[in-house]
Amino acid sequence: MAKVTEKVADKAKKTVSKAKTAVKSAAKKTAKKSGKDKVVLAYSGGLDTTVIIPWLKENYDYDVIAVCIDVGQGDNWKAIKNRALKTGASACYVVDARQEYIEEYIWPALKANAIYEDEYLLGTSTARPLIGKILVEYARQEGAVAICHGATGKGNDQVRFELAIKAFAPDLKCIAAWRDDKWNMDSREAEIKYLEDRGLEVPMKKDQSYSRDENIWHLSHEGLELEKTENEPNYKHMLKNTIVPEEAPANGEYVKIEFEKGIPVAVNGKKMDALKLLTELNKIGGRNGIGLVDICENRCVGMKSRGVYETPGGAILYAAHRMMNHLTLDRDTYHYKQQLSIKIGELIYDGKVFTTLYDSLMAFVDKSEETCTGWVKLKLIKGAIRGAGSGSKYSLYNESIASFTTGDLYNHKDAEGFITLFGLPLRVRAMMEQSVGEGQAVLKSKKLKKRPTE
């Protein structure tokens, strides 16, 4: 057994070695102009990643290939691309991954009813694996020898990015600037000075200091008053996509969602592609104060962090999808899916999307969603979501059975035999307790209280 393990390990080492050799060879071919190795940088256009461009050039002497991945941030990508090039990037690519993000990462999480720690709808978590995968794709295309990201050493994103990179390219070097020995900046002020000393643009809005992550699914907020759990969030100052619930219209509004095999396909009778559908629901939810979450969550790196999330369209879809599952899934399947939903949420949160376990659990989800076709109507009112009806040709609700009227499919007397058998273990245990004079079933049981008789 030990010899077999050694052979497998040796084979794996040789495979990685060959891959590294191939990457270096490709890098030499594609970097002829400068003669330098290339690094692909996950570039957002923000302060951290803008600083990283000259930092990489100075400390590693790389050609920096900036890759911007649009998952719905709403940024000015033309300006961001120009900033990357002016700051020293050899090239900058902008990828519109919004549709791919929704269809291949958000919809699976929705179908699984995946939620982290009861409330977080996995906005940042679902996007990071896709970003990591796209970085690898560009690294391969450019013949790069390394991938760099700007995630800090305290956050979840470093884990999510690097797990995605390891899953597709174990041979590539991964540079996490904030963890690097050559990185000597420990504050925004230090980063700003670094750029100013080099005569480079400082991309920072000084009037808004929340740490944010935004995409088509959500907007997260951390920092400022949120760093003390005793403080109430300053929603009026903070929110961008959602109105404060107290200020939402008093009458609210109805919204109708149609599903096909667990995937939302129409809003209020209009068929839409994934991007248009989610954009429309974000508007509807936002103006009704839907989808606000204030949570102190457990990061995968071991600490707790507090964040406020705006997920207006997502909250609507999760509520509607659960109603569809309530209508079309049998008891055993739904209850088992509830257990898997927790695990799938953990896997997504931890960045373990490109794993055998995730694929296996999603195979179960896909099977369970085969009959999740129909419609759900919701009432949205001042931050709350209420069911207002649902229907499906696959509905397992049968009015003739559920009605209080005795029908052919269900006779009230049938319940007597069922209860006898269902409660048999309790009855046998109680009989035993009475025979030995111990337990809750004895005549003068301490668990039975004396009640007033007048």
User: Which residue out of 211, 322, 366, 395 is catalytically annotated?
Assistant: 211
- Phi and psi angles of residue 143, each rounded to the nearest 5 degrees, phi first: 70, 30
User: Which residue out of 44, 98, 125, 128 is catalytically annotated?
Assistant: 128
Active site residue 211: yes
- Token reading at 139: 């690294």
Q: List the one residue out of 78, 127, 77 whose CA is nearest residue 104.
A: 127
At which residue do the structure tokens 């009112």 appear? 381
- Token reading at 79: 């300006």
- Token reading at 25: 């060879």
DSSP 378-389: EEEETTEEEEEE
At which residue do the structure tokens 């055998």 appear? 356
User: Which residue out of 48, 63, 213, 350 is catalytically annotated?
Assistant: 48
Instruction: Give dist(CA 390, CA 257) in Å, integer.
Output: 9
CA distances, 56 to each of 51, 79, 82, 138 (Å): 9, 21, 18, 18
User: Which residue out of 63, 90, 98, 157 is catalytically annotated?
Assistant: 157
**β strands within 331-430, DSSP E:** 374-381, 384-391
DSSP 114-166: --BTTTB--HHHHHHHHHHHHHHHHHHHHT-SEEEE---TTSSHHHHHHHHHH
Q: Please check whether residue 211 is in contact with residue 221, taking contact to mean a CB–CB distance below 8 angstroms.
A: yes
Instruction: Give dist(CA 65, CA 1) in Å, integer.
Output: 45
Active site residue 429: no
- Token reading at 358: 């995730």
Active site residue 128: yes
Other Cβ atoms closer than 10 A to 217: 30
Query: Quick one: DSSP state of residue 444?
Result: T
Annotated catalytic sites, by residue? Answer: 48, 128, 157, 211
